[in-house]
Structure 1
Amino acid sequence: MQLTQQADLSQRLERETKTILIVDDESVIRDLCARALHDYNTVQAGDGDEALRIFERGGIDVILTDVMMPKVNGIELLRKLKEREPTLVVLIMTGYADKEIILNALKEDADDFITKPLNLLQLRSAVEKALVKKALKEEIANLKNLDRLKNSFLSLISHKLRTPITVISLFMQNLASGVYDPDSPTDRENLRLVSDEACYLGSLVTDLLAFSKVMDTERELRREPCDLAAMIPELVKHVAERGVKPSVKGTWNIEQVPPLLLDRELIMFALEQVVDNAVKFSREGGTYLITVSNQGASCQITVEDHGIGMDKEEIPKVFEKFYQVDAEKAGQIRGFGLGLFYAREFVRKHGGSINIESEAGIGTRVVIDLPTSVEGAS
Structure 2
Amino acid sequence: MHRKKTKLIWRIFPSFLVIILLSLTVEAWYSTNYFKNFFLETAQRELMGRTFLLQDRFAQALYVDGLTPHQIDTLCKTLGEKIQTRITVILHSGVVIGDSFARVETMENHRKRPEIQDALSGGKSVAVRYSDTLDKNMMYIALPIVYSRSDPAVIRTAVSISAIDAKIEAMRNSIALVLLLTTMAAALASLYVSRRITNPVEQMRQEAQAFSMGNLTHRLSYPDTEELAQLAEAMNFMASELNKKIIDARNHSQELEAVHTSMQEGVIAINAQEQIITINKAAAKIFDFSPEILKTKHVLEVARNYDLQVFIKKALATSEPVEDDIVIDRGQRMVLNIHSTALYDTQDKRMGTLIIFRDITRIRLLETMHKDFAANVSHELKTPLTAIKGFIEIILEMMPDNGGALSQDSVAQYGRFLGIIEKNVNRMVSLIDDLLALARLERLKGTDVQFEAHPLAGLIQKAVGFCADRAQARGITVDVHCPEAITGMVDPTLMEQAVFNLVDNAVKYSSDGTSVSIHAEQKGHNIEIQVKDTGPGIDQEHLPKIFNRFYRVDKGRSRDQGGTGLGLAIVKHIVQYHNGRIEVESRRGKGTCFTIIIPGATEKDMVSG
Range into which the TM-score falls when normalised by the shorter chain: 0.5 to 0.7
Q: Is 265-274 or 196-205 further displaced after alignment?
A: 196-205
TM score, norm. by length of structure 1: 0.57
Query: 2:576 matched to which residue of 1?
Result: 348
* Match for residue 190 of structure 1 among 395, 403, 417: 417
Query: 2:543 matched to which residue of 1?
Result: 315
SS at match of 2:467: helix
Note the 1:98-137 alignment, pairs <5 A. Answer: 114=290, 116=292, 135=335, 137=359
Look up the equivalent residue of 1:234 and give its one-letter code: K
Q: Determine if the alignment matches structure 1 residue 70 to structure 2 residue 253.
A: yes
Q: Determine if the alignment matches structure 1 residue 147 to structure 2 residue 369.
A: yes
Query: 1:339 matched to which residue of 2?
Result: 567
Write the distance in 2 (CA, Å) between the matches of 1:161 and 1:180: 32
State the Cα deviation string for residues 52-92 of structure 1 (Å, max 9, x = none).
Answer: xxxxxxxxxxxxxxx9743842222444x54xxxxx33589
Q: Determine if the alignment matches structure 1 residue 359 to structure 2 residue 535.
A: no
Deviation at 1:363, TM superposition (A): 1.6
Write the distance in 1 (CA, Å) between the matches of 2:445 and 2:368: 14
Query: 2:266 matched to which residue of 1?
Result: 89
Write the distance in 2 (CA, Å) between the matches of 1:158 and 1:335: 21
| Contact 1:257-1:293 at 8 Å conserved across structures | no
Note the 1:194-233 alignment, pairs <5 A. Answer: 194-207=421-434, 210-211=437-438, 214-215=441-442, 216-233=444-461
Classify 1:155/1:78 alpha carbon distance in 2 versus 1 (closer, same or farther; 3 Å): farther
Write the distance in 1 (CA, Å) between the matches of 2:472 and 2:329: 53
Query: 1:19 matched to which residue of 2?
Result: none
| Contact 1:91-1:114 at 8 Å conserved across structures | no
SS at match of 1:306: coil
**Highest relative contact order (Cα 8 Å, sep 6+), 1 or 2?**
1
State the Cα deviation string for residues 298-327 of structure 1 (Å, max 9, x = none).
Answer: 22110001112222122221222x232232
Deviation at 1:195, TM superposition (A): 3.8
Classify 1:123/1:262 alpha carbon distance in 2 versus 1 (closer, same or farther; 3 Å): closer
Query: 1:252 matched to which residue of 2?
Result: 480
| Contact 1:301-1:368 at 8 Å conserved across structures | yes
Deviation at 1:214, TM superposition (A): 4.7
The structure number with the bigger radius of gyration is 2
Write the distance in 2 (CA, Å) between the matches of 1:142 and 1:125: 27
State the Cα deviation string for residues 157-200 of structure 1 (Å, max 9, x = none).
Answer: 9999999989x99xx9xx9xx99643355555434333433443
TM score, norm. by length of structure 2: 0.38
Query: 1:22 matched to which residue of 2?
Result: none
State the Cα deviation string for residues 85-123 of structure 1 (Å, max 9, x = none).
Answer: xxx33589xxxxxxxxxxxx89xx976773658787899
Classify 1:232/1:190 alpha carbon distance in 2 versus 1 (closer, same or farther; 3 Å): same
Unaligned runs of 5+ in 2: 1-249, 270-280, 309-327, 337-358
More helix by share: 2
Classify 1:91/1:179 alpha carbon distance in 2 versus 1 (closer, same or farther; 3 Å): farther
Write the distance in 1 (CA, Å) between the matches of 2:426 and 2:375: 21
Note the 1:367-378 alignment, pairs <5 A. Answer: 367-373=595-601
Write the distance in 2 (CA, Å) between the matches of 1:68 and 1:126: 29
SS at match of 2:544: helix
| Contact 1:299-1:370 at 8 Å conserved across structures | yes
Write the distance in 1 (CA, Å) between the matches of 2:370 and 2:429: 27
Q: Is 285-294 or 252-261 further displaced after alignment?
A: 252-261
Look up the equivalent residue of 1:139 and give its one-letter code: T
Classify 1:163/1:223 alpha carbon distance in 2 versus 1 (closer, same or farther; 3 Å): closer
Write the distance in 1 (CA, Å) between the matches of 2:295 and 2:429: 66
Classify 1:76/1:158 alpha carbon distance in 2 versus 1 (closer, same or farther; 3 Å): farther
Write the distance in 2 (CA, Å) between the matches of 1:266 and 1:145: 23
Unaligned runs of 5+ in 1: 1-66, 83-87, 93-104
Query: 2:494 matched to which residue of 1?
Result: 266
Q: Determine if the alignment matches structure 1 residue 283 to structure 2 residue 511.
A: yes
Deviation at 1:126, TM superposition (A): 5.9
State the Cα deviation string for residues 16-74 of structure 1 (Å, max 9, x = none).
Answer: xxxxxxxxxxxxxxxxxxxxxxxxxxxxxxxxxxxxxxxxxxxxxxxxxxx97438422
RMSD, aligned α-carbons: 4.8
| Contact 1:308-1:363 at 8 Å conserved across structures | yes
Classify 1:246/1:211 alpha carbon distance in 2 versus 1 (closer, same or farther; 3 Å): farther
Q: Determine if the alignment matches structure 1 residue 240 to structure 2 residue 494.
A: no
Look up the equivalent residue of 2:266 and give its one-letter code: V
Equivalent pairs: percent with the same residue? 23
SS at match of 1:341: helix
Deviation at 1:254, TM superposition (A): 2.2
Deviation at 1:218, TM superposition (A): 3.1
Write the distance in 2 (CA, Å) between the matches of 1:245 and 1:205: 27
Write the distance in 2 (CA, Å) between the matches of 1:119 and 1:369: 45
State the Cα deviation string for residues 313-364 of structure 1 (Å, max 9, x = none).
Answer: 22221222x2322326557374443332232222233232210112233321
Classify 1:78/1:251 alpha carbon distance in 2 versus 1 (closer, same or farther; 3 Å): farther
Q: Is 116-125 or 211-220 further displaced after alignment?
A: 116-125
Classify 1:161/1:283 alpha carbon distance in 2 versus 1 (closer, same or farther; 3 Å): farther
| Contact 1:214-1:266 at 8 Å conserved across structures | no
